[in-house]
């Protein structure tokens, strides 16, 4: 069974491109070793991340994410079983998102209407 977690959070300080690369390198190394895939969307000081994989791995990884001092106000949007992986080929895809589109995603998230598939569509049209 595939588990997924989706959350939004705010960066603790303005992350440079290098900070983000370092974060992603660390995240991908861990995720590869724990069969976790997903995507990290970032926009200014905001993040939205999807983690997917075996339940135990995803929950351990999410605990690691929550513990990071690099962001705060981690707000869970989804934490439950999924019908499958959406980013199966990515230890952690990433995409910078323009502010209007990020606001659209946050609006869906606020209304609890966001589905992980939306992130895939979003990512494909944003590359």
Interacting residue ranges for ligand FMN, rule: CB under 6 A: 23, 26-27, 30-31, 40, 47, 49, 61, 64-65, 68-71, 92
**What torsion, rounded to 10 degrees, do the Cα atoms 110, 111, 115, 116 define?**
0
Q: Is the Cβ–Cβ distance between 28 and 17 less than 8 Å?
A: no
Please give the Cα distance from 25 to 43 (Å, whole number).
19
DSSP 8-state code for residue 6: E
Residue 66: which H helix or E strand, with range?
A: helix 55-67
Q: How far is the CB of 92 from ligand FMN (least distance, A)?
A: 5
Question: Which residue, 31 or 114, is less far from ligand FMN as judged by CB?
Answer: 31
Report the nearest approach of ligand FMN to the CB of residue 112 (Å).
Answer: 21
Nearer to ligand FMN, 55 or 70 (CB): 70
Task: Kindly state the smallest distance separating residue 30's Cβ from ligand FMN, in Å.
Answer: 3
Give 65 or 97: the residue with its C-beta nearer to ligand FMN. 65
Residue 95's DSSP bridge partners are 41
């Amino acid at each position: 069974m595939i588990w997924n977690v989706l959350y939004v959070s705010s960066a603790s300080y303005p992350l440079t491109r290098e900070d983000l690369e370092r974060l992603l390198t660390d995240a991908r190394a861990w995720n590869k070793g724990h069969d976790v895939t997903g995507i990290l969307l970032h926009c200014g000081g905001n993040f939205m991340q999807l983690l997917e994989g075996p339940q135990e791995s995803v929950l351990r990884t999410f605990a690691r994410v929550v513990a990071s001092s690099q962001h705060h106000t981690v707000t869970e949007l989804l934490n439950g079983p999924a019908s499958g992986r959406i980013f199966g080929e990515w230890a952690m895809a990433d995409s910078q998102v323009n502010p209007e589109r990020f606001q659209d995603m946050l609006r869906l998230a606020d209304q609890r209407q966001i589905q992980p598939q939306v992130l895939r569509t979003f990512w494909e049209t944003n590359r």
